[in-house]
Amino acid sequence: MIFIGTMNLSRTRERGDFYCPDCESMQAYRLKAKRPWITLYFIPVVPIGKVEIVIRCDKCHSNWDESVLKVDADSHRELLEDQASYEIFRAVVLYLLSDGYMEENEIEPLREIASEVFGRDVDREELGRLCSSAEQSGIKVRNYVTSVLRYWNPEQQRLAIQSMFLAGSLRGELDSDRLELLMEIRQTAGLSDQGFRTLIEEGLQRSDQ
């Protein structure tokens, strides 16, 4: 009887350092080339299929496409920051919409809050898109913030709470539901009374400018 089978052979072709998006730091990698072979009596004799290249992080063992070698720490950080901006603003919109509606006179101040969060000018059209996609998600602001807050750094957490406070105050005094919600979020973020007060004061100065 002849034993014929197949086997995936992988060998390390290169080593180097790369920016691992999972570890969020520079790590050593192995560039592995994988290729299926036909085996005869368990010995690989003929290669079949094409070579597949995988970059593997030595630390966390995650596998990446070769293009990961082009990602550097700066562009990765930019991507993360952009994502956090979307999350922060979505939280603001959900917070504002927690009573189910938005008024025409809230649009312009909200656009200013958006521009602050994104660090660039946000026009009415983009604002409309951001609001309707937040609304369509149908997620309650409490649930949303609880799930994304831990991915924000302290600065982003402050920006989020401050922006929610400003958005919630657009109709005058914060109503009790919104205040309660803000207090919960504050607690999740682990902010002290003093830290919270400073943040609100800064927020009020921000809206006076």
List residues near Zn ion by CB under 5 A: 20, 22-23, 27, 57, 59-60
Question: Which of residues 40 and 60 has its CB atom nearest to Zn ion in the complex?
Answer: 60
What SS3 class is residue 95? helix
Question: Which of residues 30 and 171 has its CB atom nearest to Zn ion in the complex?
Answer: 30
d(CA 139, CA 133) in angstroms, rounded, equals 11
Residue 8 Cβ vs Zn ion, minimum distance, rounded to whole Å: 23
Residue 185 Cβ vs Zn ion, minimum distance, rounded to whole Å: 31
Tell me the DSSP string of 16-51: EEEEETTTTEEEEEEEEEEEEEEEETTEEEEE-S--
Question: Which of residues 25 and 147 has its CB atom nearest to Zn ion in the complex?
Answer: 25
Q: Which helix (H) or strand (E) holds 141?
A: helix 141-148
Buried/exposed code over 150-161 (b: 16+ C-beta within 10 A; e: otherwise) = eebeeebbbbbb
Question: Which of residues 4 and 60 has its CB atom nearest to Zn ion in the complex?
Answer: 60
d(CA 194, CA 98) in angstroms, rounded, equals 27
Question: Which residue has tokens 């609880």?
Answer: 146
Question: Which of residues 64 and 144 has its CB atom nearest to Zn ion in the complex?
Answer: 64
Q: Which helix (H) or strand (E) holds 188?
A: helix 176-188
Residue 18 Cβ vs Zn ion, minimum distance, rounded to whole Å: 9
Residue 76 Cβ vs Zn ion, minimum distance, rounded to whole Å: 12
Residue 29 Cβ vs Zn ion, minimum distance, rounded to whole Å: 8
